[in-house]
Amino acid sequence: MVIPAVPDTLLVEKLAVANRILYRQGVVDSFGHVSVRHDKSPHHFLLARNMAPALVRRQDILVFDLDGTALDAGGQRVYLERFIHGEIYRARPDVQAVVHSHSPSVIPFGATRQPLRPIFHMCGFLGEGTSLFEIRDVAGDTDMLVSSNALGAALAAALGSRSAVLMRGHGSTVVGASLEQAVYRAVYTEVNAKLQMQAVALGDVMYLNAGEAAKTAATNETQVPRAWELWQREVGPVG
C-alpha cells in the first residue's frame, strides 16, 4: 500500500470547516459527506470518519486511497459510501472536491427524474444540466447506497463531465475544481432546486442558455471567496 505524505494542515482544517458550512447552509443534516483530493497525492483523498458533518474536527479527517480504503482509520467506522469519492476522483482528474448529500430541495427532482437547469447566474455551473443516476438499472433492488467501487464507477459514469448528478431515491453529488468551489456549488444547487420548483409552479421558465451559463460560471466562480469568508466566519473555529 502506498502511503502518501502527510496532507497540508490547512487543507485538513479547511475540510473540517467545509463539513460545518454544509450543515449550517442546509445541504447536509446528520448525513452526507464532503472530501478533498490529497494535496500531495492525486491517488488519495481526505474524508471524515463516519460521523455527522456538523461535529467534524481536524482529528476526524482520514486519508483514503481511490479504492476507498482508509489508511489510518485505526478501527474507526468509515462512511459506507466512500466509493462515491474515490471513483469520481479516478474518473475526473479535474475534480478536486466532492460533496455527497441529501440536499432536500434536490430530492424531488431525482424522484421525478427531472433535471436541474440554471435558473439564475449563481448556478451557471448547472449549464449542462444534471444527469440522473438510477441505481436500479445498474444493480436491481438495493439499499440505494453506493457501497462498492463498481457502484461508484457507475455513478461517476452517470456524472460524466457535469458538475452534479441526481441520485433517484437518494440524493445528489456535486463536484468542483477546489473545495471552496464544490461547497459553493452544493449550496447553490440546493438554492437552484428550490427556486426551480417555485418557478415551474408559477409559469413558463426561461433558464440561462448555454452561452449565459458558461459565462456566468466563469465570472461568478471568481466570487466564491466572498461567500467562503462569510460562511467560515459563521461556523467559527473547528475543534
- Residue choice 4, 26, 104, 129 for contact with a copy of itself (CB under 8 A): 104
Q: Which of residues 150-189 bind a copy of itself (CB under 8 A)?
A: 168-171
Q: Is 212 labeled as catalytic in the residue annotation?
A: no
- Pairing label, strands 97-101, 131-133: unpaired
Point out which span in 34-42, 63-71, 85-93, 226-234 binds a copy of itself (CB under 8 A).
Answer: 226-234
Point out which span in 11-19, 86-94, 112-120, 156-164 binds a copy of itself (CB under 8 A).
Answer: 112-120
Amino acid, single-letter form, for residue 233? R
Amino acid, single-letter form, for residue 26? G
- Pairing label, strands 61-65, 97-101: unpaired
Instruction: Work out how close the CB of 156 gets to a copy of itself at its nearest, in angstroms, rounded to a whole number.
Output: 20
Point out which span in 37-45, 51-59, 156-164, 174-182 binds a copy of itself (CB under 8 A).
Answer: 51-59
CB 109 within 8 A of CB 190: no
- Residue choice 93, 143, 161, 236 for contact with a copy of itself (CB under 8 A): 143
Q: For residues 191 and 13, what is the distance between their CA atoms, to the nearest angstrom?
A: 26
Q: For residues 38 and 62, what is the distance between their CA atoms, to the nearest angstrom?
A: 11
| Torsions phi, psi for 70 (to 5 deg) | -80, 135
Instruction: Work out how close the CB of 114 gets to a copy of itself at its nearest, in angstroms, rounded to a whole number.
Output: 6
CB 78 within 8 A of CB 49: yes
| Torsions phi, psi for 62 (to 5 deg) | -115, 165
Residue 132 pairs with which residues in a beta bridge?
A: 166
- Residue choice 21, 98, 175, 208 for contact with a copy of itself (CB under 8 A): 208
- Residue choice 11, 24, 29, 138 for contact with a copy of itself (CB under 8 A): 29
Tell me which residue of 75, 19, 6, 9 sits closest to 47, measured CA to CA: 19
Point out which span in 93-101, 119-127, 151-159, 173-181 binds a copy of itself (CB under 8 A).
Answer: 119-127
231 touches a copy of itself (CB under 8 A): yes
**Range list of H helices, 65-134:** 82-91, 107-111
Q: Which of residues 67-86 bind a copy of itself (CB under 8 A)?
A: 80
Instruction: Work out how close the CB of 85 gets to a copy of itself at its nearest, in angstroms, rounded to a whole number.
Output: 18
Tell me which residue of 87, 187, 189, 105 sits closest to 146, measured CA to CA: 87
- Residue choice 41, 50, 131, 149 for contact with a copy of itself (CB under 8 A): 50
Amino acid, single-letter form, for residue 100? H
Catalytic residues: 81
Q: By the criterion CB under 8 A, which residues form the site for a copy of itself?
A: 29-31, 50-52, 54-55, 80, 102, 104-105, 107-114, 118-122, 124, 136, 140-145, 168-171, 191, 194-195, 197-209, 211-212, 215-216, 218-220, 223, 226-227, 229-231, 233
